[in-house]
Amino acid sequence: MSKGKVVVIGSGFAGFSAAICLADKGFKVKILEKNTSIGGRARQFTESGFTFDMGPSWYWMPDVFESFFNHFGKTTADYYELIRLDPSYQVIHGKNDFMPIPANMQEIEKLFDSIEPGAGNQLREFLKIAEYKYEVGINKFVYKPSRSVLEFANSKLAIDAVRLQIFQSMAKHVRKFFKNERLIQLMEFPVLFLGALPENTPAMYSLMNYADMALGTWYPKGGMYKIIEALESLAKEKGVEILTNHEVTSINYIGKKATSVSTNHGDFTADVVVAGADYHHVDSMLLDSETRNYDEAYWDKRVMAPSSLLYYIGVNKKLDGLLHHNLFFDTDFGPHAHDIYTVAKWPEKPLFYISAPSKTDDTVAPEGCENIFMLIPVAPGLDDTEEIREHYFDLILERMKDRMGLDFKENIVYKRSFAHKDFVSDYNAFKGNAYGLANTLTQTAILKPQLANKKLNNLFYTGQLTVPGPGVPPSLISGQVVAKEIIKDFA
């Protein structure tokens, strides 16, 4: 017997996660997706024989995915094949100056020792602390709904909070262990996924280093979209109805209860509404001033994670020297390099990232070709023009040519770019952001936008702008967290 109708807005990781959890408990769930294909930022497209993941490209924290599917009596292996990358990725520091990061921990320690004597032992100690943070942070803190400070009001959690180093910065923590600038850059790199400067990111997030080096970098054969396909399959098995090309235009209510959502294809009644679309868009555009959680002044004060300038490139030859993941830290941009994507201007010397999944997977490109995904992290809210996109594309090609000897402009057979304007049009992304809110101390846990609407008692929010934060595993967790709250309140 159905426990009520749930409408989920958006078919990204968080939306699917919430939908599956609720359908599993007997709710009648319908997902409404504005785009013509599912997946949100994790959509995929094919062109000229190439298959491109549009957004996420890193598979970290495999235990989070496994735990999710295990909850329903499944495993990830029921849906996709995971390949562990070795090397995990490489860092390009300059011309013919590459640092591959091995998958084996002993080899990583040797690498650290070769750069800074004694750094291998320091890394071992650093990761012991990071492992504790991972176990406690993921198992205790990240799954909390953060609706009240009382959730954290016991002595054990208080002790954990101190040991998690919530009030110390990542930058200071890393520098207690390492002096070499290359090692510091490497250890600070994972927090780029969290969208804040290491100086402003709590040291708790060294748990990301544990995820990186101990748990490893993986790849689902066929691309990250395989996870979306797995979620779709499980959702349909649970009876979830998925409607694409259904853009929600308003959330309607009577008194303190949302009663329906309006779309470009009519209205859908609901006992519960879960908003997996951009929080700011839902709050500001789908609700009236009487039922919003936050005003524009609140949103203008939020520290946003970066946006991204992306390129999807098909090349008709193989490119020697590239690995699956490649980080270009190859310019002299000083100790505050990451300011380039938080300061509201286009950077002169950006760092950038190249993914070449065709190095691992021959199904994503025609034989003898390469599938290339390029990403430049940039500040949100910038003017986005075709001239700017072309400028940065040429800049990337020139640096790849100089640093790696790769000259392939004449071999490009497919090219598409994606930036601020596209994030807004496709995802209604606030200021064209790509990752949501930065995980600063003042935007952590109960200080994030709340997952429940304060005026309508059956409207909830999930995804990267609420708890627990940006990234694929956190989004998957976010859906579980909000579903648990709904089940508790309405079942």
Q: pLDDT tens digit string along 250-306?
A: 999 999 999 999 999 999 999 999 999 999 999 999 999 999 999 999 999 999 988
- What pLDDT score was predicted for residue 334? 47
Residue 301: count of CB within 10 angstroms of its CB: 9
pLDDT band at 157 (very low <50, low <70, confident <90, very high): low
Mean pLDDT of all residues in 189-215 = 88
Among the listed residues 293, 309, 245, 328, the one whose alpha carbon sits nearest the alpha carbon of residue 454: 293
pLDDT band at 343 (very low <50, low <70, confident <90, very high): confident
Residue 393 to residue 316: CA distance in whole angstroms: 18
What's the per-residue H, E or C state across 185-214?
Answer: HHHHHHHHHHCCCCCCCEHHHHHHHHHHHH
Of residues 385 and 155, which shows the higher confidence score? 385
Mean pLDDT of all residues in 455-469 = 97
Cis peptide before 468 (omega within 30 of 0): yes
pLDDT tens digit sequence for 417-456: 999 999 999 999 999 999 999 888 899 889 999 999 999 9
pLDDT tens digit sequence for 325-342: 999 999 865 444 555 556
Residue 97 to residue 260: CA distance in whole angstroms: 58
- The answer to whether residues 354 and 326 touch, using CB atoms and an 8 Å cutoff, is yes
Q: Which domains does the chain have, with CATH numbers?
A: 5-81+222-302+438-490 (3.50.50.60), 106-215 (1.10.405), 303-426 (3.30.519)
pLDDT tens digit sequence for 53-77: 999 999 999 999 999 999 999 999 9
- What pLDDT score was predicted for residue 341? 57
- What pLDDT score was predicted for residue 172? 96
Cα distances (Å, whole numbers) of residue 318 to 95, 446, 474: 20, 48, 35
Percent of the chain with pLDDT over 70: 96
User: Residue with structure tokens 């390129």?
Assistant: 311
- What pLDDT score was predicted for residue 29? 98
- The count of C-alpha atoms lying within 13 angstroms of the C-alpha of 267, restricted to the half-sphere facing its C-beta, is 10
- What pLDDT score was predicted for residue 155? 55
Cis peptide before 56 (omega within 30 of 0): no
pLDDT band at 151 (very low <50, low <70, confident <90, very high): confident
- The answer to whether residues 7 and 32 touch, using CB atoms and an 8 Å cutoff, is yes
pLDDT tens digit sequence for 172-182: 999 999 999 99
Read off the pTM: 0.96
Percent of the chain with pLDDT over 90: 85
